[in-house]
């Protein structure tokens, strides 16, 4: 195999969808695995639907995922090149101008519908003589340019994932390669670009299988070598319908904002449709994936997206993979957004080192770590009854006395004090922990209370407990 070159070719018409992100990842990994190059190409020839903001977001999200490209192109900057190839197709009789109006075409479409047959263009303008074409152009009639599709020809290609695929040209008919506003269409420019950029492997979603025979015809008409195709299986939601907004967040951006680690999302998306050679392993770094990823291990059946599994994997990354300083860098914007004080990095480090096993995402972290960062905690009405108990008051009072001189600085020391209180007051462990937890966190469950006491500054502990004691006195 010569040097491989792959590409990811998103249209900037929306957020980067998880399915497209997986396509980008597989194309990137295959290029890197084989020592080849990877191209990012923004497919923005559709003026109406493309937006610069989406392009910026796509680029940011790809970078965030850790995808690195060797070459970058924007189709809207290549119109001159496409024009050259349209002219070539016209001159050589592979394409022709079509003057049919949208109304006429709509009529054709309706007739096909009535007859219950799939629509394809009648080919009416194919028969126009050069003089007629000239005349219509002179009259200023707007036109598109269509590719002349040979009739009843079966196009066969060998897909690296799906195997041999055969599609008859009668299924689609003459298709538009230049719109009436002069902009070229996807099926045409994709061929010109893939050929001129030297793409060897076209890796994309299986929804593009019906486009492939159209593209092969254009490759042949322009005398370009046909690349290899690898169409990735669709991603389904858990109800086995195509993954969409109905299934919840489906954009990379949404996961990023939710506090997912890019490495975890990258890793998880790889497992959608690809099986690692080592069966019992699921956690892989990007470098390891580059080492082992191969298209031959991509399955041809649909992959099911499991949100819970992704969340679990993110938790594994937070707990075991991401270095603490990187985690802090990523946590700070979230803490800040929640209004927490982030001026003391050492404090954040202490908190995160002790608590990072208690949340799976950074937005969960915000809730979980509230008692470490807020000034005062809110205690729900129904929890006051636990504090009004006379034993609870004794526990809290004794605890305050115990920490007066020296505040415990480790969970072990906190546990030791709790044991002493149990002994002195002759109470069971929950009678010590529960009032402390409610007074210090306002909640019945949450982060380890021994950890909270060990880390929280003494004044905050005293303030929270005194406030409770004053209220119930
Ligand atoms: N712009 C197309 C898309 O976003 C690219 C398809 C392809 O990879 O050929 O679906």
Query: Which range is least confidently modeled, 94-98, 205-209, 360-364, 469-473?
Result: 469-473
Q: For atom 10 of ligand 1, which residue has the closest CA? A: 10
What are the tokens at 388?
């009004």
Cβ-contact 148, 95 below 8 angstroms: yes
Kindly indicate whether the domain formed by 80-178 is annotated with CATH number 3.30.360.10. Answer: no
Q: Is 10 in the pocket of ligand 1 (CB under 6 A)?
A: yes
CA 256 – CA 251 distance, rounded (Å): 9
**How confident is the prediction for the chain on average, in pLDDT?**
96
What pLDDT score was predicted for residue 90? 97
- Band the pLDDT of 73: cuts 50, 70, 90: very high
Per-residue confidence band for 280, with pLDDT thresholds at 50, 70 and 90: confident
Q: Give the mean model confidence (pLDDT) for residues 65-85.
A: 98
Q: Which of 10, 28, 58 to mutate to test the pocket of ligand 1 (most atoms within 8 A of CB)?
A: 10
- Determine the straight-line distance between the first and last CA of the chain, rounded to whole angstroms: 82
Ligand 1 within 6 A of CB of 190? yes
CA of 11 to the centre of ligand 1 (A): 7
> Rounded CA gap, 457 and 464, in Å?
11
Q: Longest Cα pair distance anywhere in the chain, in angstroms? A: 108
Which of 9, 20, 78, 201 should be mutated for ligand 1, with most atoms under 8 A from CB?
9
Beta bridge partners of 231: 204
Q: Which atom of ligand 1 is nearest to the CA of 8?
A: 8
Q: Mind giving me the DSSP string for 198-239?
A: T--EEEEEGGGGGGHHHHHHHHHHHTPPP-EEEEEPPEE-TT
Q: Is 43 in the pocket of ligand 1 (CB under 6 A)?
A: yes
Q: Is the CB of 9 under 6 A from ligand 1?
A: yes
Q: Is the pLDDT at 473 greater than 80, yes or no? A: no
- Residue 409 is predicted with a pLDDT of 95
Q: What is the mean pLDDT of residues 230-251?
A: 93
Band of residue 207 on the pLDDT scale cut at 50, 70, 90: very high
Strand order in the sheet with 228-232: 163-168, 154-159, 228-232, 201-205
pLDDT at 211 over 80: yes
Pocket perturbation via mutation, ligand 1, pick of 11, 75, 203 by most ligand atoms within 8 A of CB: 11
DSSP structure class, residue 183 = P
Domain ranges (residues) in the chain = 5-73+185-235, 80-178, 245-321, 324-372, 375-473
pLDDT beyond 80 at 1: no
Write the CATH number of the domain with boundaries 324-372: 1.10.8
457: pLDDT strictly greater than 90: yes
Please report which confidence band the pLDDT of residue 472 belongs to, taking 50, 70 and 90 as the band edges: confident
Q: Which helix (H) or strand (E) holds 301?
A: none
Element at 396 (helix H, strand E): helix 390-405
**Centre of ligand 1 from the C-alpha of residue 174, in Å:** 20
Residue nearest to atom 3 of ligand 1 (CA): 10
pLDDT in tens, 137-193: 999 999 999 999 999 999 999 999 999 999 999 999 999 999 999 999 999 999 999
Question: What is the distance between the alpha carbons of residues 91 and 85, in angstroms, rounded to a whole number?
Answer: 10
pLDDT of 14 > 80? The answer is: yes
Query: Tell me, what's the pLDDT at 227?
Result: 98
Q: Thinking of the domain 245-321, which architecture would CATH place it in?
A: Orthogonal Bundle (1.10)
Write the CA distances from 444 to 57, 309, 387, integer angstroms.
Answer: 41, 27, 12
| Residue 313, pLDDT score | 98
Cα atoms in the 13 Å half-sphere on the side-chain side of 120: 16
**Relative to the CA of 204, which ligand 1 atom is closest?**
8
Question: Is residue 383 very low, low, confident or very high in pLDDT (cuts 50, 70, 90)?
Answer: very high
Instruction: Compute the distance from residue 451 Cα to the ligand 1 centre, in Å.
Output: 51
pLDDT over threshold 90, residue 279: no
Averaged pLDDT for residues 414-423: 97
Q: What is the pLDDT of residue 422?
A: 97
Q: What's the DSSP call for residue 184? A: B
Instruction: Report the nearest-CA residue for atom 6 of ligand 1.
Output: 9
Please tell me what DSSP assigns to residue 13: S
Cβ of 204 less than 6 Å from ligand 1: yes
DSSP conformation letters of 311-352: HHHHHHIIIIIS-HHHHHHHHHHHHHHTT-----HHHHHHHH
- Count H helices and E strands in the chain, helices first: 21, 12
Is the CB of 208 inside a 6 Å radius of any atom of ligand 1? yes
Confidence bin at 440 (pLDDT 50/70/90): very high
Closest residue (by CA) to atom 5 of ligand 1? 9
Q: Residue 367: its pLDDT value, please?
A: 95
Give the tens place of pLDDT for each residue, 337-354. 999 999 999 999 999 999
| Local confidence band at 300 (pLDDT 50, 70, 90 cut-offs) | very high
Q: What is the dihedral of CA 200, 203, 208, 211, to 10 degrees?
A: 0
9 CA to middle of ligand 1, Å? 5
The rounded Å distance from CA 8 to ligand 1 centre is: 8
349 burial via Cβ count (<10 Å: 0-12, 13-18, 19+): middle
Residue 458 annotated to the active site: no
Query: How far, CA to CA in Å, does 434 sit from each of 291, 413, 450, 455?
Result: 51, 18, 12, 18
**In this predicted model, which residue has the larger pLDDT, 389 or 404?**
404
Rounded Cα distance, 180 and 178, in Å = 7
- Does residue 11 have its Cβ closer than 6 Å to ligand 1? yes
Helix H or strand E segment including 38: strand 37-42
Q: What percent of the chain has pLDDT over 70?
A: 100
**Residue with CA closest to ligand 1 atom 4:** 10
Output the pLDDT for position 390.
Answer: 83
CATH number attached to the domain at 5-73+185-235: 3.40.50.620
In CATH, the number for domain 375-473 is: 1.10.10.350
Contact 417, 408 (CB under 8 A): yes
Distance 43 CA to ligand 1 centre (A): 7
Centroid of ligand 1 to alpha carbon of 256 (angstroms): 23
- Residues β-bridged to residue 242: 236
Cα-Cα-Cα-Cα dihedral sign, residues 227, 230, 231, 235: negative
Could you give the angle at the alpha carbon of 27 between the alpha carbons of 25 and 28, nearest 5°?
65
Domains 5-73+185-235 and 80-178 share a fold: no
Active-site annotation holder among 245, 309, 419, 463: 245
3-state secondary structure of 310: helix
Looking at residue 343, its pLDDT comes to: 97
Q: Which tens digit of pLDDT belongs to each residue from 315-333?
A: 999 999 999 999 999 999 9
Provide the pLDDT for residue 267: 98
Position 40 pLDDT exceeds 90: yes
């Amino acid at each position: 195999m010569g040097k491989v070159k792959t590409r990811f070719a998103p249209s900037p018409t929306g957020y980067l969808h998880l399915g497209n992100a997986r396509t980008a990842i597989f194309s990137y990994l295959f290029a890197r695995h084989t020592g080849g190059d990877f191209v990012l190409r923004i497919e923005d020839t559709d003026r109406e639907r493309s937006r610069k903001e989406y392009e910026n977001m796509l680029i940011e999200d790809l970078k965030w995922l850790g995808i690195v490209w060797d070459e970058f192109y924007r189709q809207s900057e290549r119109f001159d090149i496409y024009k050259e190839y349209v002219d070539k197709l016209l001159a050589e009789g592979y394409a022709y101008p079509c003057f049919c109006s949208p109304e006429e075409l709509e009529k054709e479409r309706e007739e096909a519908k009535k007859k219950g047959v799939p629509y394809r263009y009648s080919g009416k303008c194919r028969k126009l003589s050069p003089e007629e074409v000239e005349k219509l152009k002179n009259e200023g009639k707007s036109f598109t340019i269509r590719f002349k599709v040979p009739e009843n020809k079966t196009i066969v290609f060998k897909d690296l994932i799906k195997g041999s695929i055969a599609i008859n040209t009668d299924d689609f008919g003459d298709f538009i390669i230049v719109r009436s506003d002069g902009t070229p269409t996807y099926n045409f420019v994709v061929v010109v670009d893939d050929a001129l950029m030297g793409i060897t492997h076209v890796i994309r979603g299986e929804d593009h299988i019906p486009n492939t025979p159209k593209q092969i015809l254009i490759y042949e008409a322009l005398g370009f070598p046909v690349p290899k195709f690898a169409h990735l299986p669709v991603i389904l939601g858990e109800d086995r319908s195509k993954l969409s907004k109905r299934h919840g967040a489906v954009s990379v951006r949404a996961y990023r904002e939710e506090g997912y680690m890019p490495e975890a999302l990258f890793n998880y998306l790889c497992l959608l449709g690809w099986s690692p050679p080592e069966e019992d392993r699921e956690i892989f770094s990007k470098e390891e994936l580059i080492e082992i990823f191969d298209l031959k291990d991509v399955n041809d059946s649909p992959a099911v997206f499991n949100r819970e599994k992704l969340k679990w994997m993110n938790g594994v990354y937070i707990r075991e993979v991401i270095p603490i300083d990187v985690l802090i860098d990523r946590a700070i914007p979230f803490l800040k957004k929640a209004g927490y004080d982030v001026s003391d990095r050492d404090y954040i480090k202490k908190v995160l080192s002790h608590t990072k096993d208690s949340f799976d995402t950074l937005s969960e972290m915000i809730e979980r770590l509230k008692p470490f960062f807020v000034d005062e905690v809110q205690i729900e009405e129904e929890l006051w009854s636990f504090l009004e108990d006379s034993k609870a008051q004794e526990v809290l009072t004794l605890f305050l006395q115990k920490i007066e001189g020296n505040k415990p600085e480790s969970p072990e020391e906190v546990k030791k004090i709790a044991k002493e209180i149990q002994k002195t007051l002759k109470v069971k462990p929950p009678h010590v922990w529960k009032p402390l937890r409610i007074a210090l966190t306002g909640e019945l469950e949450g982060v380890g209370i021994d950890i909270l006491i060990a880390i929280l500054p003494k004044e905050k502990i005293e303030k929270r407990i005194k406030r409770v004691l004053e209220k119930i006195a």
